[in-house]
Amino acid sequence: MNRQAAGWIVALLALVALPFVHRDPYHLHVLVLILIWSFAYTSWSIMGRFGLVSLGHGGFMGIGAYVTALLWNHLGVSPWIGIPLSMATAGVLALVVAYPCFRFRITGHYFVLVTLALSGIVLQVITATRDYTGGSLGYTPQRAPSGKGLFALQFDDKITWYLIALAVWIAGLVIWRAIDRSMIRHAMEAISEDEDAAAAAGVNVTAEKLKITLISALMTALAGALYCQYQMFISPDTVSGIAVSLQMVFAAIVGGVYVALGPTVGAIITIVLAEVLRISFGTKAVGWDNLVYGVLLVLFIIFLPKGILGSVIDRIKSPRKPSRGHEQQIVPIARR
Amino acid sequence: MLAVEGLVKRFGGFRAVNNVSFRVEQGEILGLIGPNGSGKSTIFNMLSGTLPPTEGSILFDGREIAGLAPHRIIVGGIGRTFQIPRPFHRLSIFENVVLAGFYGQGRRSRSKAEEAAERALAMVGLPTDRRASVEGLGAAGLKKLELAKALATGPKLLLADESLGGLDETEMDQAADMLRRIRDELGITIIWVEHIMGVLMRVVDRVMVLDHGEKIAEGLPADVAGDARVIEVYLGTDADASLAAAVAEQARRRIGV
């Protein structure tokens, strides 16, 4: 256990030291993208792993990005305040949509459909209010005057962004792990199997599901806001809508939703794939990555439901200890 | 401790439970019997909050609980088992019971929940090994787990639903003894629902018989076993009178009166 802790600390130090040793800006850019998206996918998996498959997370991400940028451009509100406000907006929306779902037992495919509508609605609202949001052409936060970069949370320096993204990504993993070790995980596993039996064990089913949904939505909005501040350009297609939601589901499932680093592995695979296709085929390959995602998603749900990292860890561990009951379950995502 | 008045449950035009009233005294074991579809499980589901009653009042320790959310009733001191065991397969046996100990007692602390789980598992005779999987349990083991989960929620009143279906004779006797021990050692009041009359009649203090959602008899086991309407319900109207008498006699002998 101590050796394991030492291993984590060494890995952490190496990650912090990396940008000071390897300064290639393109590589750092890809790493920042991987960290931000890993955080977003981790946020999705916090509820996705319990069979609460949401296709609404693109909506939360879009709210995080657009609310932060709109507050800054129109009212001059610093992202330091704007980001918490955008997270709160996403949180309220999550509760408004999820409460009736959970209260009236809308589960499984029906829940997926409701959240799908949420993604669509957020996308439509952004496109429809083009006078404010720029519509489908995208939106750019105004550049802060020099010297006010910290106030505006705008940095030209890739190393700064790398460290911010790294800190947020680690925070996401810490939250994932805290939930994994808490009684909420047990309650949510129980709920995902049998809501009546969970209630008979004293679990407030609606409240526990709302808690998990709220945490997941808040984190996803933060991911959207960070993406906006880093890229300094957002469009409905890149931070909101159904495509982004599907991308989250895909990456999380491919990496593995039952292990902390699964969504991160998913982010590495998807982003590297997109970059390789972009560089080798250029504009001729636009949309190919989505095709590859789609095919892979089907294959993964059928053949490798625990994802790449989950399956690798199982392979390593299986001869030593019997895996836990919830890890032996097959195809929980597809089942619901 | 429990006073049920005029309980009614309608599903559309069908009255699953029709105007049933009864009381349960502190420390007693009340048997609830009746043929399939007589409303036993529906009454349980209303007592535990899984179904809201259409009409009627349920006073538990002087507090109205009719229509409360199930988790509030469970935390308030009622434990229940399900007719068909409903374990959580993705949790270990121990985790199943800790979950009930944690949430069923108002989320006090994890270590208290683990203590409650250990006591409950020891009471029903299941291993307290943290990793043992639910998949290894047979029918009898699953029933024990169901009971352990209910006990871990710290109930004053235990609703035990058809605990013995699917068990052999020895297992049935053991399970019946266990319910009696739960009452004697833990002081938990029990309502026990069962199809099988024989074993139940030996253990319960009083018995209540349901048919088509209505209460048709209530009283001491010996009296109820000889009641004409009860015999009719269990054997049908065409039953030979001498056969009915023989069954009643056998029931009396099993209880030892």
Per CB-CB distance under 8 Å, the chain A contacts of B86 are: 194, 196-197, 200
Cα–Cα distance for residue pair A153/A147, rounded to 1 Å: 11
Task: State the maximum Cα–Cα separation within chain B, in Å, rounded to a whole number.
Answer: 60
Cα angle value A25/A28/A29 (rounded, 5°): 85
- DSSP assignment, residue B133? B
- DSSP assignment, residue B219? E
Three-state DSSP string of A3-33: HHHHHHHHHHHHHHHHHHHCCCHHHHHHHHH
Beta bridge partners of A239: none
Report whether A277 contacts A159 (CB < 8 A): no
Please give chain A's pLDDT, 336 residues, in tens: 688 889 999 999 999 999 999 889 999 999 999 999 999 999 999 999 999 999 999 999 999 999 999 999 999 999 999 999 999 999 999 999 999 999 999 998 999 999 999 999 999 999 999 999 999 899 999 998 888 889 989 998 999 999 999 999 999 999 999 999 999 999 999 999 999 999 999 999 999 999 999 999 999 999 999 999 999 999 998 899 888 999 999 999 999 999 999 999 999 998 998 888 888 887 776 777 778 878 888 888 888 888 889 888 888 876 544 444 444 444 444 433
Q: How many residues does chain B have?
A: 257
Q: Phi/psi of residue B90, each to 5°?
A: -85, -5
Q: CB-based contacts of A269: which residues, under 8 Å, 6+ apart?
A: A251, A254, A255, A308
Q: Which of B25 and B170 is assigned the larger pLDDT?
A: B25
Dihedral angle of Cα A23, A29, A31, A33, to the nearest 10 degrees: 160
Handedness of CA A114, A116, A121, A126 (dihedral sign): positive
pLDDT at A334: 40
Per CB-CB distance under 8 Å, the chain A contacts of B80 are: 200
Contact B103 A203 (CB under 8 A): yes
pLDDT at A67: 97
Cα–Cα distance for residue pair A11/B23, rounded to 1 Å: 65
Cα–Cα distance for residue pair A51/A36, rounded to 1 Å: 24
Cα–Cα distance for residue pair B83/A288, rounded to 1 Å: 53
pLDDT at B237: 53
Q: CB-based contacts of A173: which residues, under 8 Å, 6+ apart?
A: A42, A260, A261, A264
Beta bridge partners of B55: B8
Handedness of CA A54, A120, A210, A174 (dihedral sign): positive
Count CA atoms within 13 Å of residue B218 on its CB side.
Answer: 11
Contact B91 A194 (CB under 8 A): no
To test the contact with chain B by mutation, choose from A104, A186, A321 the residue with the greatest count of B C-beta atoms within 10 A, namely A186
Token pair of A272 as six digits = 């590297």
To test the contact with chain A by mutation, choose from B46, B71, B161 the residue with the greatest count of A C-beta atoms within 10 A, namely B71
Q: Phi/psi of residue B121, each to 5°?
A: -65, -40
Burial state string for A262-294 with b = 16 or more CB within 10 A and e = fewer than 16? bbbbbbbbbbeebbebeeeeeeebeeebeebbe
Q: CB-based contacts of B41: which residues, under 8 Å, 6+ apart?
A: B83, B161, B162, B193
pLDDT confidence band for B180 (50 / 70 / 90): very high
* Per-window interface: B 76-95 vs A, CB < 8 A: 80, 82, 86-92, 95
- Closest Cα in chain A to B70: A199
Token pair of A82 as six digits = 């704007």
Is A101 strand, coil or helix?
helix
- Closest Cα in chain B to A191: B88
Cα–Cα distance for residue pair B117/B98, rounded to 1 Å: 5
Q: Sort strands B63-64 and B78-80 into parallel, antiparallel or unpaired.
A: unpaired
Burial of residue A321 (number of CB atoms within 10 Å: 0-12, 13-18, 19+): exposed
Q: What is the CA radius of gyration of chain A?
A: 20
Tell whether B108 lies on the interface with A, counting CB pairs under 8 A.
no
Cα–Cα distance for residue pair A253/A310, rounded to 1 Å: 10
Tell whether A186 lies on the interface with B, counting CB pairs under 8 A.
yes
Which residue of B50, B89, B134 is in closest CB contact with A196? Answer: B50
- The whole-model pTM stands at 0.88
Which range (A99-108, B162-171, B242-251) has the least confidence?
Answer: B242-251
Report whether B85 contacts B163 (CB < 8 A): no
pLDDT confidence band for B242 (50 / 70 / 90): low
Residue B254 Cα, gap to closest chain A Cα (Å): 34
Q: How many residues does chain A have?
A: 336
Q: What is the CA radius of gyration of chain B?
A: 18
Which residue of B50, B70, B103 is in closest CB contact with A187? Answer: B103
Which residue of B86, B107, B133 is in closest CB contact with A194? Answer: B86
- DSSP assignment, residue B18? E
Which residue of B48, B106, B131 is in closest CB contact with A200? Answer: B48
Per CB-CB distance under 8 Å, the chain A contacts of B99 are: 183, 186-187, 190, 198, 201, 203
Report whether A166 contacts A19 (CB < 8 A): no
- DSSP assignment, residue B92? B
To test the contact with chain B by mutation, choose from A185, A203, A258 the residue with the greatest count of B C-beta atoms within 10 A, namely A203
Report whether B117 contacts B60 (CB < 8 A): no
pLDDT at A332: 43
